[in-house]
Structure 1
């Protein structure tokens, strides 16, 4: 009897053990399934690899469409040499680069003159000598340049694409409300030599300019401000606007002129209001004037409204100079100029620091 009880106890123990094993397996399998299900969902929805890789093709596609879309009519394929005015440097950097990214088949190669300094005049000279396809100029073509071109069998077409102003830089500490164009002329021809003669302090005027050979800005200044008179013996010549700005900043009586985008935002100097008559001065910057203490966090901005309306006394157009020769060079220059006149081109020109012409 005791043997039977022992056998029964062993049998029950085995059954219970097997039941516990199967029960434990069932519990852990169920628990594993519950835990595994959220992990699978997390892998499907929130995997960092998927989160990054899904937007990338969309983003790349958008960028590709924006950059590679070339909607410039009559744009030829090939490499085209161009150059000229130093005033155009911000446009070459910030505007032309966009055209290059959109129209990779149209390659622009900036070309320095074989001798002398870059400038509007040398750019037109290089056009006449067939060294450029088209050029960029801060002044109009001269009659003698047109005559020389006609001797070579073509004429020039100038296409205005932007508005620029000439700004007058003076030392930050100079206390003067402004200058008339006539006074500016007298300063640069040597008739006025002290700031006291124009309502300022008793302080000699230190006059700076680039040389006549430097480019279109100087030529424009001589033609339109000096009325073709020569610079006075008091003028000191420098090579670049960067050098001139430093000299004016260090000279209490210093004065210099240059393209407005090169002068107005500067922190080291200030630009003077100009007027056609005394007492009616218009600043080349948007008022209120940003003092040096706030620069460079904030900078003075161009007075675009006064430039466009002509209220500011010294403004000019920037031109693309195109050969009229019925060849690919003419096609390239006209297509380039027409792109600059599109809404996109004009917005980019404004961002580069100039004023839209349309």
Structure 2
């Protein structure tokens, strides 16, 4: 071999491996000389739904109006996290939404699961059993009933017994409970409105009927407006619906008149500071049970060993995860664990 040919062979032998290395770097880093970014599809595939036992499909649900903020603020988080688990809220075909109508729709197989602010009743479970399944309730949060009054009313609080006497018509003037000489106007939504009214009748009125002086209001929003406009009015509702309001004030409640527990964290925010600053729930007193009127929020599930049961249980179990409990707390309810 000539000296020129030998030099050419040596040159080619050295240049070919370099070309292969540079080609590999071009493939890895891309034509632009920088590391290629993952595509949207790649990012989405890495953000997988990690909710245990959550089925795929469209699931109808509904029930308690107390759950409205949960449906608005929390359920979309689950929808974004697990887009193949689709929740579709249904109003009742007749009557107003509420815990009772939600359970009724569940028994009629119109809902996969329902949201309730009270336990199901024995007769409701019997109706479900006639359809071939039983009901199961899963508590996911703690709620309280707050008493709303006009800002100008000046009393330290009410006992549960006094609240009962006001709503059954035995106490009719604020002077009878340490206030000024002013007639009391008790407001309530009708019994058919849902779990809050049923809970109040069962646990505060001890199954007695509302007095003749009670006025019936369609919604909490309407009731709070009336309390603001009428110095003698009183109303009860789920604590997250009442405590942060600027137009009314929440009354401390006691089992006896020697110890009243406020539903808000002290010191109470004045009306002049609101809405820049809002009253917060007295979560510690709700959780400990020292606040006298508390209850659980439940997911009501069909026990039928079918996909509806799986959907309801998985939804409830997600609300019981650290993320779910944190979201419930931010929404104004008290975490149960």
Q: Which bin holds the TM-score, normalised by the shorter protein?
A: 0.7 to 0.9
The whole-number CA distance in structure 1 between the counterparts of 2:175 and 2:39 is 62
- In the other structure, the counterpart of 2:18 is none
> After TM superposition, which residue ranges in structure 1, 4 or more long, deviate above 4 angstroms?
57-66
Q: Secondary structure at the match of 1:158?
A: strand
Distance 1:144 1:352 in 2: 32
2:70 to 84, 91, 106: 91
Judged with a 3 Å threshold, the aligned counterparts in structure 2 of structure 1 residues 107 and 284 are, in CA distance, closer, same or farther, namely same
| Displacement of 1:64 | 5.1
Pick from 259, 263, 270 the counterpart of residue 249 of structure 2.
270
SS for the counterpart of 1:281 is strand
Aligned to 2:147: 168
Question: For 2:107, which of 128, 134, 149 is the aligned residue?
Answer: 128
Q: Give, in angstroms, the shift of residue 279 of structure 1.
A: 2.0
1:331 counterpart = 2:315: no
What RMSD in Å do the two structures reach over aligned CA positions? 1.8
Unaligned runs of 5+ in 1: 1-53
Higher helix share: 1
Distance 1:64 1:295 in 2: 42
Instruction: Give the CA deviation at 1:82.
Output: 0.2
Map residues 288-299 of structure 1 onto 2, 5 A cutoff.
288-299=267-278
The 5 Å alignment of 1:147-162 reads: 147-162=126-141
* Residues 269-290 of structure 1 deviation map (CA, whole Å, 9 limit, x = unaligned): 0000000011200000000000
Q: SS state of the match for residue 261, structure 2?
A: coil
Q: Shift of residue 69 of structure 1?
A: 3.1
- 1:74 Cα shift? 1.0
Q: Secondary structure at the match of 1:117?
A: coil
> Where does residue 61 of structure 2 map in the other structure?
82
1:37 matched to which residue of 2?
Answer: none
- The answer as to 2:170 corresponding to 1:200 is no
SS of match in other structure, 1:159: strand
What's 2:117 paired with?
Answer: 138
- How far off its partner does 1:59 sit? 12
Does the alignment pair 1:116 with 2:95? yes
Aligned-partner Cα distance in 2 for 1:70–1:253: 52
Q: Aligned partners of 1:304, 1:183: CA distance in 2, in Å?
A: 24
CA distance in 2, matches of 1:70, 1:311: 39
Q: TM-score, normalised by structure 1?
A: 0.82
1:280 maps to 2:290: no
The superposition leaves residues 147-182 of structure 1 with CA deviations (integer Å, 9 ceiling, x where unpaired) of 111111110000000000000000000000000000
User: For residues 111 and 160 of structure 1, what CA distance do their matches in structure 2 show?
Assistant: 22
| 1:347 paired to 2:323 | no
Q: TM-score, normalised by structure 2?
A: 0.87
Q: What residue is the counterpart of 1:44 in the other structure?
A: none
> Partner of 2:189 in structure 1?
210
CA distance in 2, matches of 1:291, 1:303: 16
Change in 2 beyond 3 A, CA 1:128/1:63: same
- Going from structure 1 to structure 2, the CA distance change for 1:356 and 1:322 (only over 3 Å counts) comes to same
| Equivalent residues, number | 303
Q: 1:153 to 1:206 in 2, by over 3 A?
A: same
State the distance in 1 between where 2:40 and 2:321 align: 25
Residue 219 (structure 1) aligns with:
198
